[in-house]
């Protein structure tokens, strides 16, 4: 199955850069290379991400996005689910449109869906950043540092093992999920 893994983040933004760090570590990972999975960091404009996905032929059959997303979980929580195409509204984002904002997971998904070519199978891997660990810089919080390796292991498994994907819950972006991946290999 042609799979694309994208680490979504603004680079050098402390805990918010987790997606880029995970994609960098996966880029030269032997099981990923053997499975011919394409891995890229997506610290660019969401329209550029949509253009990148549109340029691929044949198209990808599975896309996995990994990103830091604050959802009031314990810092360092790694959670994976199959995106059902829905987005739970966030009151803080009411006055802006996806094209106006930076590279975030929500913006990337909405723009890529609108202008790009997204496959039916979209996997989201979220890592909860530590409160107060945002802003510029490259140093991660201790909880984010520990979560990067767990997220890398999980993304590798999801990119190379269809059974692991089949066991994930389906959910809206920002929705409540009762199942967390236990990261067991």
In a domain, 185, yes or no: no
63 in Cβ contact with 115 (< 8 Å) = no
- Helix, strand or coil, per DSSP, at residue 16: helix
Count: domains in the chain = 1
Kindly state whether residue 178 falls inside one of the protein's structural domains.
no
The sheet with strand 121-127 has its strands ordered as: 38-42, 3-8, 62-68, 121-127, 78-87, 170-173
**Which CATH number goes with the domain that contains 134?**
3.40.50.1450
Domain that holds residue 115: 3-173
Q: Is residue 179 part of a domain?
A: no
Is the distance from CB of 64 to CB of 150 less than 8 angstroms? no
Would residue 153 count as lying in a domain?
A: yes
- Does 183 fall in a domain? no
pTM: 0.86
Separation between Cα atoms, residue 36 and residue 106, nearest integer Å: 27
Domain-located, residue 151:
yes
Q: Is residue 181 part of a domain?
A: no
Q: What is the pLDDT along the chain (185 residues), one digit of tens a residue?
A: 899 999 998 666 678 888 989 999 998 888 887 787 999 988 778 888 889 898 988 899 999 999 998 888 999 999 999 999 998 875 444 444 444 445 688 988 999 889 877 898 999 999 998 866 455 556 788 888 899 999 999 999 999 999 999 999 999 998 766 444 444 44
- Has residue 102 been placed in a domain? yes
């Amino acid at each position: 199955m042609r799979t694309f893994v994208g680490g979504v983040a603004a680079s050098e933004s402390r805990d918010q850069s987790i997606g880029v760090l995970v994609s960098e570590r996966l880029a030269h990972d032997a099981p990923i290379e053997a499975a011919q999975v394409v891995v890229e960091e997506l610290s660019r404009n969401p329209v550029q991400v949509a253009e990148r996905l549109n340029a691929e032929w044949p198209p990808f059959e599975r896309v996995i996005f990994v990103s830091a997303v604050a959802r009031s979980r314990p810092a360092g929580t790694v959670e994976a689910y199959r995106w059902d195409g829905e987005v739970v509204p966030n009151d803080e984002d009411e006055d802006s449109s996806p094209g106006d904002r930076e590279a975030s997971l929500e913006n990337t998904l909405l723009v890529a869906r609108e202008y790009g070519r997204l496959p039916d199978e979209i996997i989201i891997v979220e890592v909860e950043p530590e409160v107060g660990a945002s802003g510029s810089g490259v140093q991660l919080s201790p909880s984010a540092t520990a979560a990067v390796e767990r997220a890398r292991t999980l993304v590798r498994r999801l990119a190379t093992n269809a059974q692991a994907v089949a066991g994930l819950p389906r959910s809206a972006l920002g929705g409540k999920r009762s199942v967390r991946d236990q990261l067991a290999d």
